[in-house]
Amino acid sequence: DTGVSQDPRHKITKRGQNVTFRCDPISEHNRLYWYRQTLGQGPEFLTYFQNEAQLEKSRLLSDRFSAERPKGSFSTLEIQRTEQGDSAMYLCASSLLARGELFFGEGSRLTVL
């Protein structure tokens, strides 16, 4: 069990550029979640996959955000035309059971200049 891994750990980009984050969940976990966290706040739910199906998406997620989980393994989160307000830590988590214990990666920190 190598845990949940996220890449890159840090990304600095200029406003208007596109960025993509990757998450590799624990191999036997079929549930995968993306959260966003800003300084001093708790993780904010973005979206949830069960296998390759995206079952839930936050209303806060603008159409500039898209997430995929092809083949039900790793997932990518893409942000198009980044804005300064997108600066945050993007956290990925996986779980074996619905509403069960979440295993988090170390996060991908995005800074938009």
Partner 1 sequence: SQQGEEDPQALSIQEGENATMNCSYKTSINNLQWYRQNSGRGLVHLILIRSNEREKHSGRLRVTLDTSKKSSSLLITASRAADTASYFCATDAGNNNDMRFGAGTRLTVKP
Beta carbon of residue 106, minimum distance to partner 1 (angstroms, whole number): 5
- With CB under 8 A as the contact rule, the residue among 21, 24, 107, 112 that binds partner 1 is 107
> Residues 14, 27, 71, 99: which binds partner 1 (CB under 8 A)?
99
Cβ proximity to partner 1, 74 vs 103, nearer residue: 103
Looking up tokens 């549930």, which residue turns up?
31
- Candidates 19-27, 42-50, 63-71, 79-87; binding stretch for partner 1 (CB under 8 A): 42-50
Pairing of strands 53-57, 65-68: unpaired
Torsion 112-23-65-88 (CA) sign: negative
At residue 70, φ and ψ (nearest 5 deg) are -65, 135
Distance CA 110, CA 56 (A): 23
Tell me the C-alpha distance between 99 and 13, whole Å. Answer: 34
* CB of residue 73 to partner 1, shortest distance in Å: 19
What is the C-alpha to C-alpha distance for residues 28 and 44, in angstroms, rounded to an integer?
A: 25
Range 55-74, binding partner 1 (CB under 8 A): 55-56
Among 51, 64, 100, 111, binds partner 1 (CB under 8 A): 100
> Given the rule CB under 8 A, which residues bind partner 1?
4, 31, 33, 35, 40-45, 48, 50, 55-56, 91, 93, 98-107, 109
